[in-house]
């Protein structure tokens, strides 16, 4: 506890007042050391130290040496309304009423499971919402299937590539899947749309390819980040959007291709 390094001024004063005066200390010591083989004057430095401690000024926090002050400050947090004490434990203790122990490893693992469950659930709802928008706009289940099939293939292959070396999918990768569906649907819509003007379609295809390269390069740069959220989203979206373009073109009708 912080009080082990810096007792309160009240505790310091109580301990200081408990020190006996010089005559009482020497009398008690003489009784305790009777018939013991100690040389005379061996404990004179001890008597001098006690006498000095009886009149020494108390030690407030401001006068602590830097190493002790750093230790105390690292264990105390002032929120403005109350103080929070961070006390490291080295062995099981009998806790007084009102104190709870928190297993940070267990709690963080459970919190991560909740985040993963929520992210998968919301990503699924988001994908269904995108399909509903496509159905409302295209008004044809077959055309929606033609758009959704390349997206599903892109997501599945991306997930397979990300887990190829034994890694697990993170929450941020699940978010990246939703971005793949959102961005890739534009490419798949282009390839599913009949266009009789070959020149116009060629210009549009060039614009789609340029947009895809910009997306892949931007998110590809993010994949080199050491920050997990940027790395996971970057590598997921970079791979997935490229595959969306590839599968959109590969699975389109011969006329559109």
Name which CATH class applies to 104-250: mainly alpha
Phi, psi of 237 (to 5 degrees): -70, -35
CB 201 within 8 A of CB 182: no
Distance CA 15, CA 3 (A): 13
In the chain, where are the structural domains located?
23-100, 104-250
Q: Give the SS3 label for residue 26.
A: helix
81: its two tokens? 């309304």
According to DSSP, residue 223 is labeled T
The pLDDT profile of the chain, 257 residues, written as one tens digit per residue, is 888 888 888 988 999 999 999 899 989 988 888 888 888 788 889 999 999 998 888 877 777 788 888 888 888 888 888 888 887 777 666 777 777 777 888 888 898 888 888 888 888 888 888 889 888 988 888 888 888 889 999 999 999 999 988 888 888 898 899 889 889 888 888 887 766 677 887 888 888 899 999 999 999 999 999 898 999 999 999 999 999 999 988 887 544 44
């Amino acid at each position: 506890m912080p009080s082990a390094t810096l007792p309160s001024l009240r505790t310091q004063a109580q301990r200081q007042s408990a020190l006996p005066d010089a005559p009482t200390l020497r009398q008690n010591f003489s009784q305790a050391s009777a018939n013991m083989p100690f040389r005379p004057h061996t404990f004179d430095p001890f008597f001098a130290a006690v006498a000095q401690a009886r009149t020494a000024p108390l030690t407030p926090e401001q006068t602590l040496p830097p190493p002790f002050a750093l230790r105390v400050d690292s264990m105390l947090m002032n929120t403005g309304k109350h103080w929070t004490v961070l006390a490291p434990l080295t062995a099981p203790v009998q806790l007084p009423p009102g104190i709870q122990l928190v297993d940070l490893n267990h709690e963080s693992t459970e919190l991560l499971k909740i985040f993963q469950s929520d992210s998968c659930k919301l990503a699924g709802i988001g994908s269904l919402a995108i399909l509903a928008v496509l159905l409302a706009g295209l008004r044809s289940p077959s055309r929606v299937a033609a758009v959704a099939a390349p997206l599903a293939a892109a997501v599945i292959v991306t997930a397979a590539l990300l887990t190829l070396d034994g890694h697990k999918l993170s929450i941020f990768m699940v978010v990246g899947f939703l971005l793949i569906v959102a961005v890739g649907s534009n490419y798949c819509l282009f390839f599913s749309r009949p266009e009789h003007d070959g020149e116009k379609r060629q210009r549009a295809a060039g614009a789609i390819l340029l947009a895809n390269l910009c997306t892949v390069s931007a998110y590809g740069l993010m994949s080199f980040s050491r920050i997990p959220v940027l790395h996971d989203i970057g590598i997921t979206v970079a791979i997935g959007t490229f595959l969306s373009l590839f599968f959109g073109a590969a699975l389109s009708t011969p006329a559109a291709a």
